[in-house]
Amino acid sequence: DTGVSQDPRHKITKRGQNVTFRCDPISEHNRLYWYRQTLGQGPEFLTYFQNEAQLEKSRLLSDRFSAERPKGSFSTLEIQRTEQGDSAMYLCASSLITWAGGPQPQHFGDGTRLSIL
Amino acid sequence: DAKTTQPNSMESNEEEPVHLPCNHSTISGTDYIHWYRQLPSQGPEYVIHGLTSNVNNRMASLAIAEDRKSSTLILHRATLRDAAVYYCIRGANDMRFGAGTRLTVKP
């Protein structure tokens, strides 16, 4: 399967610990997005990269959150000093943007579910 | 602020058409309208998108009002596998999802 993969699928940690999630996009895709989703709500945009450049960050992305995409391929999302409110599903998506036309579909992974004890 | 308004839930019978409405009255001239759906325990799945003209693909049709302040996603024959939360989104890179419409399909 060559879709977007996320690792781990589930993460349980104690409050105050740091966690890191990984996203492997579809190989030829140059854009990568991170979203957060809480129960009963739609995904909330966090940030996106074009190749290795982080082009936009939501106000939701506090100083405790950092995302990287060092070589323009996989990406990591780190949360430092986790809090109860960080419990959510973290979704990654990728797309291929060309200069020929409008937006291209985003392909989502199945997410990493984070539970803070 | 999701900037779109959708009903919380809708029901349909299997093999009947389904029309899912969306209001986006503050849409700008360059905003596309995107539809995604999400099945339980999965990430969202792209359905269709458009700018001004009606669009068709193998999954669905998108009817966009002439003033672009509303749109309708049409599933021509609902199946049980179409039961999902459907999201209507306006925008470009930073897609703002709302709570979506939960579609229930009855056999």
Q: What is the pLDDT of residues B55-87, one digit of tens each?
A: 999 999 999 999 999 999 999 999 999 999 999
Q: What is the side-by-side strand order in the sheet with A19-24?
A: A5-7, A19-24, A75-79, A65-68
Across the interface, of B32, B51, B95, the residue whose CB is closest to A45 is: B95
Q: How big is the A-B interface in CB pairs under 8 Å?
A: 52
- Alpha-carbon gap: B58 to the closest alpha carbon of chain A (Å): 15
> Which residues in chain B are closer than 8 Å to A42, comparing Cβ atoms?
2, 85, 87, 97-100
- Alpha-carbon gap: B16 to the closest alpha carbon of chain A (Å): 26
CA pair distance B54, B99, nearest whole angstrom? 24
The percentage of chain A sitting over the pLDDT mark of 70, rounded to a whole number, equals 97
Task: Say if strands B101-106 and B9-13 run parallel, antiparallel, or are unpaired.
Answer: parallel
Instruction: Average pLDDT across each block of 10 residues of chain A; the chain has 117 residues. List them in order.
Output: 90 97 95 94 93 91 93 95 96 86 86 96
- Alpha-carbon gap: B95 to the closest alpha carbon of chain A (Å): 7
> Which residues in chain A are closer than 8 Å to B49, comparing Cβ atoms?
102-103, 105
- Over residues A28-49, the pLDDT tens digits come to 899 999 999 999 899 999 999 9
Could you count the other beta carbons within 10 Å of the beta carbon of residue A76? Answer: 14
